[in-house]
Structure 1
Amino acid sequence: MTTEFPELAEAHLGGLLDQLGLAVPYSRASGDTLYFVDDTGAEVAVDDFVGGYGSLIFGHHHPTLTRLLHDLLERQVPVHAQFSRHPYANDLAAALNRVLHREFGIAEPYRAIFANTGAEAAECALKHAEMERGQRVAALIAEIDTHLDDARAAAAAGAGLPGDAATARLGAFTGVDGLIAAVRQHNTAQLARGPVFLTLENSFHGKLAASVQLTHNPAYRLPFRTLAAPARFVPVDRPGAVAKAVEAERVTVFDLESGDGAVRLVERDLPVIAAFFAEPVQGEGGIRPLDAALAAEIRQAAEAGGFPVVVDEIQTGVGRTGTFFAGAQAGLLGDYVLLAKSIGGGLVKNAVLLVRDSRYQPEFELVHSSTFAKDALSCHIGLAVVDLLEADGGQAYRTVRERGDALRAALDGAAEANADVVAEVRGRGLMQGLEFRDQTDAPAGVVRDFARNGLFGYMVAGRLLRAHRIRVFPTASAPHTLRFQPSLAVTDEAIARLVTGLTDVCALIRANDPTLLTG
């Protein structure tokens, strides 16, 4: 087809896909299979182990969900009915609460804020956490202001003021009014500091202006570092690192206590940390499950510091790891929970931020909105997804665990047979990763070249697609790790074909064979 325009839709990326052999225009999808039409007009099937980056727990075009979508369209349910009641959204929120309560053994309700994508849900969490932090700061300052007034009254009644040793950091002042002015000046300077967010090394929480600051990969984060509040990245393999990171961000303000005939200068912790973000399994960081001991450290630090834990279940949630919430396996209960991807059933865009009722800021609903969020299509599909997972006593979760075990056993076997090329297999349920050994110091050739420019995993993906009709991709921030996120209907035959393809790839890597790129 000719056109008067050059390619305008991400042409630079298209050129890279051409180079890697990944520029395939898929024409049809069903289950765990994508199809394209080759040069002869024949339809070619491709095993899809990408699964929409974890969005397809039920595969492409699940018949129950597809029929429901057709029915919803035929019934002309509203997509654009903003600023009205949405009972279907409330039904989905209630269903998510029932599952959350069961898996974590709690009773407190979680309020729901709807969005379109995982990155948008992360932005909602960032904004809500900062609003919540602002309330904590305002309450602290109001309390201090009351104490300053009390100190003025106490001094007028003859109470002694703190001595020079206690007030050395305030500088010179005269009398109680000078002391109060010095306290206010110090506190105003401290209050000018913005919030800080904590998250883990290898984290990924989106690529929007604020959420990208919580994504560890500097290639994504640093070009936009001036646009939003910064994050501090906590090591995942150092006991005590969470507490150390919290202490490093400690900021204090001054307060005055009055009593027993004296006014005393005291320090109060200023709420600086807005939230701690964590993934139960780090997806783009290389499919790395969260250690239970680290999860406990995060929860303990948050409770001591008064800030919320945001559990990012965008990839891991909705049954992906064998429970609805992967945090239940990691032992990490979130004050906020992010859901997206598979909650849309592979057909619609949907995302949800769940916020613990005791932390929820009702006024957030008036300062945040989203045109396409909370519509009837996405909410009805989301509720059907939950119903499918919960049906027959949670049979779907058992299937995920069984199919995940089969996939893991096959990958472990491939890794063991190619231990000189494969470093590790890791993951949970139907979220598995295979990490190749670092090839940046391989002998000169295509393997080393692509490893050094960060495209090693995409080169491998191109080979698997061209030679074996298998679709996989590396994780975004760990290009030596391939991800495997098929649906719960993935077959033994597809898994066997995957192992055959991986065995071929390992042989070509071992031989530094240029066929990896050109064959």
Structure 2
Amino acid sequence: MTVVAGSKLMNNYGQRSLEMVRGDGAYLYDQTGKQYLDFTAGIAVCNLGHAHPSITETISRQAATLIHCSNLYLNPEQQRLARSLSALSGLDEVFFCNSGTEANEAAIKLARKYAAFRQETQRTRIVSLPNAFHGRTFGSLSITPKPAYQAGYAPLVPDCVAPTELAGVLDLIDEHTAACFVEVIQGEGGVRPLSQDLLVAIEQRCRDTGALFVIDEVQTGVGRTGSFYAFEQLGLHPDIVTMAKGLANGMPIGAVLAKSEVAQAFGPGSHGSTFGGNPLVTAVANVVCEIVSQPQFLSSVVSLGERLEQVLNRLGTEVTGRGLMWGMTVSDAKQYVAKAAERGVLLTAVGDTRVRFVPPLILTHEQIAEMERRLADLE
């Protein structure tokens, strides 16, 4: 089935020829029954794979109890999740929303609100990095400096800037800067890890100038790189962290974590979400956090990642990444992804010559070997 003529769907995703109807662990199945090794995981979302029994049971139980009540009221699953994320991150307070782009929108607002709260009204600049991706809504798009994504939407949110080269970021962080947003690994930018030295220098420049240091963990968080948060491995100390994707294994959730001093700027009425952190999604996220935060689970991600890196170095060139988040260079990424699908492996292109591998974290060594067999000699 190709979504073209006769479809009532908007064409913003372009032509889609595959229709998925079922999932099981690290596999997806299309409408013909064909099996695919899923190395997309819903774009780094289904960290526990498809139809995980604990997730299925939790959804069923919570749906029979309470799905939604709005944020007019407290709910115990939301409070439990906030405590867990605070403990895992070292940050103090949490705001829940529905997606990664919403989390980054909220973080932009929080950064500017915090500056206003401190009567530093000159601090309006939001700095991001070249090749960054922070989302598609207006504020998040404004700090995603990719012309193809921004075309046709001008004027964007003012005072959002990015240097043309990574080395130029430090010069943009000064007393007029509210925050600098970074990704530890630039996923949409080709799965390119940023150097620890650069990230430490950005954090220090933020400290020296009074700007907030914001880490976007939307794609790298929830165990994807072998630690619950990627920033843990680099000794970084963010003021704000944003997350989403893998947090509820496919249920829509996003979160903003912040130090209490910063979070106090979000007083009553300053921001909100109708659906954010409802009982159903937070119940699922609590199960995900319980499983993924276990040391043996994270150790498995590291071990699987080491094996996957070895395999990718035989399949392509310029292999970069960490944990179970990898990219490699091929001659034509879109063509490679299409041919891989024909062989029963699902991948994504993140650039003209870069292919991304982000399988479920419950992957096995045998499935990595299976992937290599299916992609052998593919060019």
Classify the TM-score, shorter chain.
over 0.9
| TM-score normalised to structure 1 length | 0.69
* Whole-Å separation in 2 of the counterparts to 1:216 and 1:502: 33
* Whole-Å separation in 1 of the counterparts to 2:252 and 2:192: 26
Structure 2, unmatched stretches of 5+, are none
Q: Secondary structure at the match of 1:315?
A: coil
Shift of 1:51: 0.7
Shift of 1:12: 6.4
Report the number of matched residues. 376
Candidates 69, 88, 96, aligned match of 2:85: 96
The change in CA–CA distance for 1:83 and 1:237 in structure 2 (over 3 A counts) is closer
2:51 matched residue in structure 1: 61
Candidates 416, 424, 430, aligned match of 2:324: 430
The answer (yes or no) to whether the contact 2:117–2:265 under 8 Å persists in 1 is no
The change in CA–CA distance for 1:207 and 1:65 in structure 2 (over 3 A counts) is same
The answer (yes or no) to whether the contact 2:98–2:253 under 8 Å persists in 1 is yes
* Whole-Å separation in 1 of the counterparts to 2:165 and 2:360: 29
The answer (yes or no) to whether the contact 1:295–1:331 under 8 Å persists in 2 is no
Q: Secondary structure at the match of 1:210?
A: helix
The change in CA–CA distance for 1:62 and 1:504 in structure 2 (over 3 A counts) is same
1:124 matched residue in structure 2: 106
1:487 matched residue in structure 2: 360
2:26 matched residue in structure 1: 32
Shift of 1:497: 3.6
* Whole-Å separation in 2 of the counterparts to 1:389 and 1:342: 10
1:106 matched residue in structure 2: none
The change in CA–CA distance for 1:212 and 1:237 in structure 2 (over 3 A counts) is closer
* Whole-Å separation in 1 of the counterparts to 2:241 and 2:13: 32
Candidates 32, 42, 49, aligned match of 1:52: 42
The answer (yes or no) to whether the contact 1:311–1:333 under 8 Å persists in 2 is no
Shift of 1:298: 0.7
Q: Does 1:243 align with 2:170?
A: yes
Farther off after superposition, 221-230 or 115-124 = 221-230
Shift of 1:362: 4.5
Instruction: State how 1:147-158 maps to structure 2 within 5 Å.
Output: none
Cα shift readout 1:46-68 (whole Å, capped 9, x = no counterpart): 11000111111111121111111
Shift of 1:13: 4.0
Instruction: State how 1:467-486 maps to structure 2 within 5 Å.
Output: 468-475=343-350, 478-486=351-359
Q: Does 1:113 align with 2:95?
A: yes
Cα shift readout 1:177-211 (whole Å, capped 9, x = no counterpart): xxxxxxxxxxxxxx6xx822111111100011110
Q: Secondary structure at the match of 1:275?
A: strand
Shift of 1:339: 1.1
The answer (yes or no) to whether the contact 1:287–1:431 under 8 Å persists in 2 is yes
The answer (yes or no) to whether the contact 1:335–1:356 under 8 Å persists in 2 is yes
Q: Does 1:330 align with 2:231?
A: no
* Whole-Å separation in 2 of the counterparts to 1:340 and 1:197: 21
Q: Does 1:282 align with 2:186?
A: yes
Cα shift readout 1:56-106 (whole Å, capped 9, x = no counterpart): 1111121111111111112x21413331122321211111121123xxxxx
Q: Secondary structure at the match of 1:411?
A: helix
Percent sequence identity is 29
1:413 matched residue in structure 2: 314
Instruction: State how 1:139-218 maps to structure 2 within 5 Å.
Output: 195-218=124-147
Instruction: State how 1:430-509 maps to structure 2 within 5 Å.
Output: 430-437=324-331, 456-466=332-342, 468-475=343-350, 478-506=351-379
The change in CA–CA distance for 1:59 and 1:236 in structure 2 (over 3 A counts) is farther
Shift of 1:383: 1.2
1:389 matched residue in structure 2: 292
Q: Secondary structure at the match of 1:483?
A: strand
The one-letter amino acid of 1:293's match is D
Q: Secondary structure at the match of 1:310?
A: strand
The one-letter amino acid of 1:304's match is D
* Whole-Å separation in 1 of the counterparts to 2:125 and 2:70: 36
The one-letter amino acid of 2:289's match is V
Q: Secondary structure at the match of 2:377?
A: helix
The change in CA–CA distance for 1:306 and 1:383 in structure 2 (over 3 A counts) is same
The one-letter amino acid of 1:119's match is T
* Whole-Å separation in 2 of the counterparts to 1:427 and 1:436: 16
Shift of 1:234: 3.5
Structure 1, unmatched stretches of 5+, are 18-22, 102-108, 141-190, 248-270, 416-421, 438-455, 507-519
* Whole-Å separation in 2 of the counterparts to 1:328 and 1:464: 34
Cα shift readout 1:404-426 (whole Å, capped 9, x = no counterpart): 111111111223xxxxxx3x000
The answer (yes or no) to whether the contact 1:242–1:301 under 8 Å persists in 2 is no
Higher helix share: 1
The answer (yes or no) to whether the contact 1:26–1:36 under 8 Å persists in 2 is yes
The answer (yes or no) to whether the contact 1:436–1:481 under 8 Å persists in 2 is yes
* Greater C-alpha Rg: 1
Q: Secondary structure at the match of 1:383?
A: helix
